[in-house]
Amino acid sequence: MSGAGADLLRLDRQLCFPLYAASRLVTRLYQPLLEPLGLTYPQYIILMILWEDAPCPVSHLGDRALLNTNTLTPLLKRLEQAGFITRTRSRKDERVVRVDLTPRGAALKGACACVPETLAGALGIPEGALADLKSKLDALVGHLRRLEQPSC
């Protein structure tokens, strides 16, 4: 391929790469903040959802965290083994597994309270610019999620 078509395949022209790279680099910034608490970044995401919505079905966690069951199940198992959550089957429908925080998992919220501010400070981006970036990313994620929905 030559000419303009080949130029479209340049890495510096892709939207996907800076999104991917930024995600990986930001996630890496979380590691030293979460590691002393015994958490990975995906576990932190699940706990944030539970701090808002617990108890809730596993399907709700998957929807909010944009994680498939095959990714979510081992993550929840490790959180349960660490004593942060419990998983129980619904009495009405055994296919539904509900996730709740243990007292230890609920208390972890206080230990994580400084994480967002610390991370924002590490980024060195003004608060208004961060809010604007988040708003644009939220819109992009919403648009991409709508593209995944069946059209029928």
Domain positions in the chain: 28-113
Closest CA to 80 of 98, 62, 53, 60: 98
Q: What is the pTM of this model?
A: 0.90
Domain spanning 28-113: CATH 1.10.260.40: no
Supply angle C-alpha 36, 107, 63, rounded to 5: 85
Q: How far apart are CA 10 and CA 69, in angstroms?
A: 34
Closest CA to 58 of 40, 44, 77, 39: 77
Mean pLDDT of 66-70: 93
Question: Alpha-carbon torsion 36, 38, 103, 101, what sign?
Answer: positive
Q: Which amino acid would we find at residue 48? A: M
pLDDT at 1 over 70: no
Contact indicator for 54, 60 with CB cutoff of 8 Å: no
Contact indicator for 72, 62 with CB cutoff of 8 Å: yes
pLDDT at 68 over 80: yes
pLDDT score of 119: 94
Q: What is the pLDDT confidence band of residue 50, given thresholds at 50, 70 and 90?
A: very high
Burial class (CB in 10 A: 0-12, 13-18, 19+), 106: middle
